[in-house]
């Protein structure tokens, strides 16, 4: 457990979908990807769009980038990772 959250890694049986870890708040199951560069997040986008996972409403990408939101994924710079728990608690 890290900072009060249990962490879970996911890879589907075919190996075509992989998420670094998940966290959960009261409303959602949230996939989190950690990126060394500003690469895309196809697995996260597929998971958010998949009707079989109604709990997944948005995702979080931790990267060396500015804050951002593209309608599906929040991009959070590494240096703000310590605020992730607060963000999830206040996000409704």
31-61 residue pLDDT tens: 999 988 777 888 899 889 989 889 999 999 9
DSSP class of 5: B
Which long-range contacts (C-beta less than 8 Å, at least 24 apart) are formed by 52-58?
53/29, 55/28, 55/29, 56/28, 56/29, 56/30, 56/31, 57/27, 57/28, 58/28, 58/30
Identify the H or E element spanning 18.
strand 18-24
**Model pTM score:** 0.83
């Amino acid at each position: 457990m890290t900072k009060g959250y249990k962490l879970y890694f996911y890879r589907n049986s075919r190996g075509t979908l992989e998420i670094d870890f998940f966290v959960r708040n009261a409303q959602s199951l949230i996939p989190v990807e950690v990126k060394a560069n500003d690469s895309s997040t196809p697995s996260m986008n597929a998971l958010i769009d998949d009707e079989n996972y109604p709990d997944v409403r948005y995702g979080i990408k931790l990267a060396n980038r500015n804050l951002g939101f593209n309608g599906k994924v929040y991009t959070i710079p590494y240096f703000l990772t310590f605020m992730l728990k607060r963000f999830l608690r206040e996000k409704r």
